[in-house]
Structure 1
Amino acid sequence: MGVWPHADTFKGVESINGPRGFRKVSMNVETPSGITVAQSYMAALKACGIRHVFANGGTDFAPIIEGILRNRQDGGDMPEFVTVPHEHVAVAMAQGYYLMSGNIAGAMVHVNVGTANTICALMNAARNNTPMFLASGRSPSTETGDPGSRDFWIHWAQENYDQAAMVREHVKWEYELRHGQPINTVVGRAVDIAMSEPKGPVYLQLPRELLGSPSTNPGPLPRGRAFGTVPAVADIHAIERAADMIAAAENPIIVMTTPANAATFKALGAFAEAHAIAVHTGPHAALSSSNPMNLGRVNGPALKAADLILVLNSPVPWVPKHMQPNKDARLIHIAPDPHFATYPFRGFEMDLAIAGDPAASLTILGDMLNIKLKDRGAATDRRRKLNGEKRQALLDSRRAAIEAASTESPISYVWAAHCVNEVKGANTTIAEEIGVPFDFLDIEDDRDFMATSLGSGSLGMGLGMGLGAKFAAPDRTVITTLGDGGYMFGCPTAAHFVSQAEKLPVLTMIMNNSEWHAVRDAVMSMYPDGLAAKANRLPIVNLSPSPDYHKIAEAFGGYGEKVDDPAKLKGAIGRALEQVALGRQATLNVVCQRR
């Protein structure tokens, strides 16, 4: 087979998605004879900005594997395919990769069974608005007559009437590639949809016979531009109305319970500080922990005291059963979709619903407030002083909690967070899955922290997302903190395998309380005076006997250590991070108390 004469066509492609860059692509790509659809598909992925595909293969991958080897031999362009031995870890890695880099990643899995294994992680991606290109094979549809026809008994059993049905509710777009369709157009459309607000995953099925067939019509690549749509700027009249409402308020606050991207993190911090407006968050990083207007978690007293609440991109700004705003407070919601149409039932009230990008909206809103508050400096100064006093009280309470926790045994979650803070360096990302409490961590950049357990609440994301973050930013130290239940959900042998095989040294801190705390908490919340409140051991909650989790990493060349003494925790974290710095994954099994 000769050298592909058009191998250099894709070489100049630069495809960094989102706000971090643009791409330049050729409008027309000729297909040399002998090139398969699988090879054209891989070239289209690379040209559309997908540089890495986290893959778990099967019999449907035969044309993909042959295509990878042909491309290596002939110089064809394609993404890097990374072997991940479980689909849940693969999809979690794609999410961590995007959150760290801003670039969309691919995941590819085996027909219906592989697709089924992605669903929990895919649900989280959908609710977190994380873009991802998920592809799967499709069981061959012919019994004879094609090199890709069925040749294993399983090919009959693995055919669904509607394979995409299992993911349809959790993706923005799904499709099956048809014979003769231009693969560049199909892939480009998928990436455009995934990267348009509200962002989210897309799904493409690829029949085996089609992947192995000659590529005759890849079609033109999209014009050189950023994928997706340009972030929408809110209606200027709506923003002015919001500015009037904020300017008239005595005690406005901002609530953002979702993670902020780089632009929103910066814009929110600047806006809040400039106008002395307190910000309350959920278990996510929306602004730096040192920002003087960061007043911690959203809480009942803050909601009751506010006469105006600006809600930013938060599907659940508070839980009405536990806390609600003052009934006279004005409510403004700003989000790409402030009604969150993908949520079947949602009843949060609002006086003004503004569709728009939060970062762009805050910038314009801030400019308007500069004018409207020009003669109200005294009111802004009063708010700044009051919020400063509240923040000082918050910091004092945190210091007291740390001091009280320092000698508690079993180890306190608060003390564990403090020890992480004391030991970690500035260039560290914490991937947190109900591990150490977010409130006690120092976060200065949007990449310093990622909460991995929210979305649809499917546990087991932490291990994969931490690996994806490390893959995207190998220069950063990654610490994954999670519970023992989340660790088991995370397919740990697959995760430790990838860490070793791909040289992705991560510190995993397992906060081991020998139970599913979230289940216990739900029982206590619903039946505070029930039998469960008096029981020491609850059915379907307890995870005893607790295994030596730290030894699992040792099987993959990692460092493992068990810690049950609070006085020794800081030293253990330091030793583990020393191993990570040497290129070796590490796991700490931290025996801790119930939350």
Structure 2
Amino acid sequence: MNIESPQVAVMTGGDALVQGLKTHGVDTVFALPGAQIYGFTDALARNTDSIRVVGARHEQTSAYMAFGYARSTGKAGVFSVVPGPGILNASAAMLTAHGCNAPVLAITGDVMSSFKDRGRGQLHELPRQLEILQGIGKWAAHIEQPADTSWKVARAFQEMSSGRQGVVSLQASWDFFTRQGAVQHQAALPLQPNPPVDLDKIDDAAQLLKNAKSPMIFVGSGALDASTEVQQLAEVLGAPVVSFRGGRGVVADDHPLGFTVASGAKLWAQTDVAIVIGSRFELLDIRWRHRPAGLKLIRIDIDPTEVRRIDANVSIIADAAEAAQALTESVLRTGVPKHRTDEIAAVKATAEEDIQSIQPQLSYLKVIREVLPRDGFFIEEISQVGFTSIFGFPVYKPRTLVTSGHQGTLGFGFPTALGVKVANPDKAVISICGDGGFLFAAQELATAVQYGINLVTVVFNNNAYGNVYRDQQETFAGRLLGSELVNPDFVKFAESFGVQAMRVSSPVQLKTALEQAFAADRPVLVEVTVPRGSDSSPWKFLHPNF
């Protein structure tokens, strides 16, 4: 193919990367510029008409914003930071995104190609960086020449979005980004095909369900795009659908069969068939622990390695929506178990009454739910209110509750919420933080102001790492170490960045403040003062068998 062909052009590695992102429909990149990626950020600067670039004050925030963007939309979140300390700073967010099966692409640099693998200690050199990136995520590659770029970008998107989604990374040497070469355009590659649904196994599962007296469905992140099919299966079976974290909203909490872990735990002992869709199912052996006698287990997961981690009576390796639809059809042919509508309603009502003991968290969550629109986004944090939201905050749509999943990454919430708001500028987005977690990335208030990210952030200030404080008090005879905090005046702190700020001390005051905040059309911070040690422990609903 000759050099003048429209499919081939001479360009820098940085330009080739940008071209590859455009080919894959990327409209936003979260980037913190630095020497090794100057060529890439300059290429982005010349393409701001088609790709918005959002900066940050810390590499970790760039990656968290990409995670929030991806998690809330299902589309690829892309970020770029310098190698070595830059990518290591971002690694906590990458690990969080990968654990939550979010499609995130990391782009980073490396030492000059003439110094690669020589151990000369060039700026930001990280030995075996590519191996580290491969260990954090699903796939990673080094781009040697501009000519390799289009293909490597296409492969990255194919790996990231096929099957069980996750984090992928591309790295290139410092000089690659400004080096010119002939680049052939590569169209987006088709996704790898989903495993075909094994209809014999589907029928085996339907036979188990035919005589089930107390079936229950459990959903995780792998079911986020199967809401319609899961709800249909649940209604045919008359089975509650339990979501712990990742699957919240797959079936709305105000649906009669939408269950949290608090209500699900009340039916667990009598459950005879558990259908687990797109979930690690940590409730089985980590949270609830005691497996009901004679329990039959059906697992549906697109990842063949996942279904091998827990022994099941029937394991179906398939896309969640496709398998749930097939199972519904098979159940209708085979026989539908008797519904227990009244029992399920009574259990759900009892659980709702029980959790009201977790105060003041439930009262604050109630007013947040009243103010936040049904399709608004709620980003929790590792905090007393965040823990309580797992079972105490009603969720109505998939992806509208964003968590850090099993990683439990303290400090993820506020920077992730910035990315959610960037991805959903016309939706209400609220970030719920504890004082400890918020200060991991509080400087990003500057980012919110600079880029017009009109996020509403609520900081619950109890001057403590609340969980650690409680554990030290109750388990270690009150020997406190590192759990008591000295905080700034959060209102003055926020105002110093140009953020509107308010302070409240009751749920009623919070409701008024939130109504004002969502109407403000600017970044707003609300501090909620909470006396240290006054929060009820939510753990009896999260770990009832501890």
- The TM-score bracket by the shorter chain reads 0.7 to 0.9
Q: Which residue number corresponds to residue 30 of structure 1?
A: 8
1:510 matched to 2:462: no
Contact kept, 8 Å, 1:338 with 1:353, in 2: the verdict is no
Change (3 A) 1:465 1:327: same
TM-aligned CA deviation for residue 338 of structure 1:
5.5
1:271 matched to 2:233: yes
1:130 matched to 2:102: yes
Structure 1 unpaired stretches of 5+: 7-26, 144-153, 406-411
Matches within 5 A, 1:141-152: 141-142=113-114
Matches within 5 A, 1:471-550: 471-489=422-440, 491-493=441-443, 495-520=444-469, 530=475, 532=476, 534-535=477-478, 538-543=480-485, 545-550=486-491
Change (3 A) 1:353 1:560: same
TM-aligned CA deviation for residue 467 of structure 1:
1.3
TM-aligned CA deviation for residue 469 of structure 1:
1.3
Matches within 5 A, 1:543-562: 543=485, 545-562=486-503
1:445 matched to 2:409: no
Q: Which residue number corresponds to residue 312 of structure 1?
A: 277
Q: Deviations over 1:79-122 (max 9, x none)?
A: 33222221111111111111222210211101211111011111
Task: Give the Cα separation in 1 of the matches to 2:100 and 2:79.
Answer: 17
TM-aligned CA deviation for residue 303 of structure 1:
2.2
What SS does structure 1 have at the residue aligned with 2:242?
strand
The percentage of aligned residue pairs carrying the same residue is 22
TM-aligned CA deviation for residue 550 of structure 1:
3.1
1:118 matched to 2:81: no
Q: Which residue number corresponds to residue 293 of structure 1?
A: 257
Q: Which residue number corresponds to residue 11 of structure 1?
A: none
TM-aligned CA deviation for residue 297 of structure 1:
0.6
Q: Which residue number corresponds to residue 300 of structure 2?
A: 334
Among candidates 529, 542, 546, match of residue 591 of structure 1: 529
What SS does structure 2 have at the residue aligned with 1:573?
helix
Q: Which residue number corresponds to residue 12 of structure 1?
A: none
What SS does structure 2 have at the residue aligned with 1:390?
helix
Q: Deviations over 1:358-390 (max 9, x none)?
A: 1211111111111222xx5xx534x22321222
Write the letter of the residue equivalent to 1:53. Answer: V
Contact kept, 8 Å, 2:40 with 2:177, in 1: the verdict is yes
Contact kept, 8 Å, 2:9 with 2:184, in 1: the verdict is no
Q: Deviations over 1:401-457 (max 9, x none)?
A: 48xx5xxxxxx1111101112222334111112434333333221143222x32422
1:198 matched to 2:171: no
Contact kept, 8 Å, 1:511 with 1:590, in 2: the verdict is yes
Contact kept, 8 Å, 2:37 with 2:108, in 1: the verdict is no
1:183 matched to 2:125: no
What SS does structure 2 have at the residue aligned with 1:305?
coil
Matches within 5 A, 1:157-172: 157-172=123-138
Write the letter of the residue equivalent to 2:99. Answer: R
Task: Give the Cα separation in 2 of the matches to 1:469 and 1:206.
Answer: 28
Task: Give the Cα separation in 2 of the matches to 1:523 and 1:350.
Answer: 39
Contact kept, 8 Å, 1:561 with 1:587, in 2: the verdict is yes
Task: Give the Cα separation in 2 of the matches to 1:509 and 1:364.
Answer: 43
Matches within 5 A, 1:85-484: 85-142=57-114, 156-179=122-145, 181-216=147-182, 218-222=183-187, 227-258=190-221, 260-261=223-224, 263-284=225-246, 285=248, 286-297=250-261, 300-318=265-283, 320=285, 322-337=288-303, 339-340=305-306, 348-373=310-335, 379-381=337-339, 383-397=340-354, 401=357, 405=359, 412-434=360-382, 435-436=385-386, 437-438=388-389, 439-451=391-403, 453-484=404-435
Task: Give the Cα separation in 2 of the matches to 1:237 and 1:28.
Answer: 49
Of residues 252-261 and 178-187 in structure 1, the stretch that sits farther from structure 2 once superposed is 252-261
Task: Give the Cα separation in 2 of the matches to 1:570 and 1:230.
Answer: 48
TM-aligned CA deviation for residue 28 of structure 1:
6.5
TM-aligned CA deviation for residue 520 of structure 1:
4.5
TM-aligned CA deviation for residue 49 of structure 1:
2.6
Task: Give the Cα separation in 2 of the matches to 1:455 and 1:550.
Answer: 32
1:50 matched to 2:64: no
Change (3 A) 1:295 1:70: closer
Of residues 157-166 and 330-339 in structure 1, the stretch that sits farther from structure 2 once superposed is 157-166
Task: Give the Cα separation in 2 of the matches to 1:521 and 1:228.
Answer: 48
Contact kept, 8 Å, 1:553 with 1:585, in 2: the verdict is no
Q: Deviations over 1:500-557 (max 9, x none)?
A: 1221101111122222234356668xxx6x5x2x42x6213222x2322233321221
Contact kept, 8 Å, 2:222 with 2:320, in 1: the verdict is no
Contact kept, 8 Å, 1:252 with 1:309, in 2: the verdict is yes
Contact kept, 8 Å, 1:49 with 1:103, in 2: the verdict is no
TM-aligned CA deviation for residue 195 of structure 1:
0.6
Task: Give the Cα separation in 2 of the matches to 1:394 and 1:170.
Answer: 38
What SS does structure 1 have at the residue aligned with 2:33?
coil
Write the letter of the residue equivalent to 2:68. Answer: G
Contact kept, 8 Å, 1:56 with 1:108, in 2: the verdict is yes
TM-aligned CA deviation for residue 71 of structure 1:
5.1
Q: TM-score, normalised by structure 2?
A: 0.88
